[in-house]
Structure 1
């Protein structure tokens, strides 16, 4: 008996072992995301510009709106790393503060688009029929216009300002999220747990916002990240046309517009704001592609 007792294998808890092997979908997505070097590079770029935007008053060497005509169009130097503009303002300082404007406009406009578009998409996909037809036709009408032209039209009606540019950018992105969520809801509402929720008498509002919408979050996150990059470009385009941020606000698109006449005489006034836009948009695009690969089961091996 002692020998048998000595050879008895240790008792294990199969449930605990299974729990250790279970990996949550979000943790699995994070592991996949970390393996993508380009996605991680994009995330670091985005984090870098967000950090700059947060601590702008602490790291900016000068005030962004103080003009010194004696320092007009100074080339990059130890005193002014990125040179100065036509009013003698430090370009590095204006780019640092401009990060606040561009990222703020991108994130807030996309957040508004996600809230409105997702709500309309959920309602259209879940209820269908007449409601779906009306909402879908509204989306089709908005998408029939080129996005930048529609944004210009909206800002022209509301008046040139950063706030109105934000509203215009949010409006043109609503159908993108609405159609994305609608298509996801059409597949999710056929699942058995939705039928079970209806069978036990759960209200539609609870089903929509506790079951349907949370299971549609993955594509929303991916599209939202990519949409921020597009929103930053659209904000810069509106600023370049004089329809976005107004002087002396240091918005990157407006900086390009103010410097377009000095490309040959002072190229640094155009190069550095353009690089800021390019790197920020590149960071969001790389991060969005990485999130798509990590969250979409079809993209996994």
Structure 2
């Protein structure tokens, strides 16, 4: 009787990590030195914001006039401003405001823009026409001018500036999601789900939205940097945070007349804005390279 030979096929180790698009993206991101640098910059400012009450003995809204416009020293690392307030203290407390405004403004824009983009892209017809024309009207205005108009109507304050920044950036995410949905709803797996009788809400939540997250995450990360700049611009114009809040744009506005006499009152808030925006831009570029299939080898 002939012997039967059974060929054994090696089985992967159970503990071997399973490959997935998000896992692959994280692996690529970890190798991106510029993205890691961006993470380090943002982590530095986040830690400053969290530990602000424990880092400095001064209060951001109180100072001594006899100590006004003192240069940087061991006692005042970044010097003092025209009211004798410690600039270092105001800068690290300002990180709390700028990061909060940037984060929540972008979250609001993403939520509203994604919702409108899903409706326009998936249902089409008059819904698409109405939402698309609304986006076109909003994009016809420069974002900062539209934000100024909104704050002028609502009144100058940090909360109204945050709301204005969120509103003016809704079309950016709405059009991005709409274009993504238009291509995804023609995919075979979406058509198959529609053929077996799946509800529209189920198709949107389970199939279309998860496959639209990558560009939203990339654009949102870059959008935080834009939101911080817009908040600083509104603060500089007196339409955002109000004194004595230590918002970086407001600090630049208050100290611009002392730029020759006390340049440190302008340099350090300006550097903080630049570094924070740079950090988010580096992260956003790294996420784009990691999440875009065309950038992968």
Q: Under a length normalisation based on structure 1, what TM-score does the superposition of the two structures give?
A: 0.94
Question: Hey, what's the Cα distance between the residues in 2 that align with 1:220 and 1:61?
Answer: 41
* Structure-1 residue corresponding to 2:52: 56
Q: Does 1:165 align with 2:161?
A: yes
In the alignment, is the contact (CA less than 8 A) between 1:67 and 1:87 conserved in 2?
Answer: yes
What is the DSSP-based 3-state SS (H/G/I as helix, E as strand, rest coil) of the residue aligned with 1:106?
Answer: helix
Q: How does 1:1-301 map to 2 (within 5 A)?
A: 11-14=8-11, 16=12, 20=16, 22-301=18-297
Question: Hey, what's the Cα distance between the residues in 1 that align with 2:114 and 2:172?
Answer: 9
Q: In the TM superposition, what is the alpha-carbon distance from 1:12 to its structure 2 partner?
A: 5.0
For the aligned residue pairs, the C-alpha RMSD in angstroms reads 1.8
In the alignment, is the contact (CA less than 8 A) between 1:60 and 1:96 conserved in 2?
Answer: no
| Structure 2 unaligned regions, length at least 5 | none
What is the DSSP-based 3-state SS (H/G/I as helix, E as strand, rest coil) of the residue aligned with 1:89?
Answer: coil
Q: In the TM superposition, what is the alpha-carbon distance from 1:10 to its structure 2 partner?
A: 9.6
Question: Hey, what's the Cα distance between the residues in 1 that align with 2:278 and 2:22?
Answer: 24
Q: After TM superposition, which residue ranges in structure 1, 4 or more long, deviate above 4 angstroms?
A: 8-13
| Structure 1 unaligned regions, length at least 5 | none
Q: Under a length normalisation based on structure 2, what TM-score does the superposition of the two structures give?
A: 0.95
Q: In the TM superposition, what is the alpha-carbon distance from 1:21 to its structure 2 partner?
A: 7.0
The more displaced of 257-266 and 38-47 is: 38-47
Between Structure 1 and Structure 2, the one with more helix by share is 1
Q: In the TM superposition, what is the alpha-carbon distance from 1:258 to its structure 2 partner?
A: 0.3
Aligned residue pairs: how many?
294
Question: Hey, what's the Cα distance between the residues in 2 that align with 1:62 and 1:26?
Answer: 44
